[in-house]
Amino acid sequence: MPILSADQAASRVFGAVVNLGKPGTYLHWGFIQLSLANFVLIVVMIAVFLAAILLPFPHRGGPRS
């Protein structure tokens, strides 16, 4: 097995997950058209937003003002 440099290995791992060697995938809902990548990003943003509201915030044991 050939020895790969770190960036070559990273490229192979990334390439196995996301193939950038072909046209992008687009989603269509009526007049709405957006790329799958942007859709995934929006979903992640909504998930982070909900997590920011719901997850408890760590704080020190001292009195809070």
φ, ψ at 12 (rounded to 5°): -65, -45
Q: Which residues in the 37-56 window bind other proteins by CB under 8 A?
A: 41, 45, 48-49, 51-53, 55
Sign of CA dihedral 52, 57, 58, 59: positive
Q: Does 17 bind other proteins (CB under 8 A)?
A: no
Q: Does 57 bind other proteins (CB under 8 A)?
A: yes
Q: Does 6 bind other proteins (CB under 8 A)?
A: no
29: nearest Cα among 20, 39, 14: 39
Cβ distance to other proteins smaller for residue 16 or 53: 53
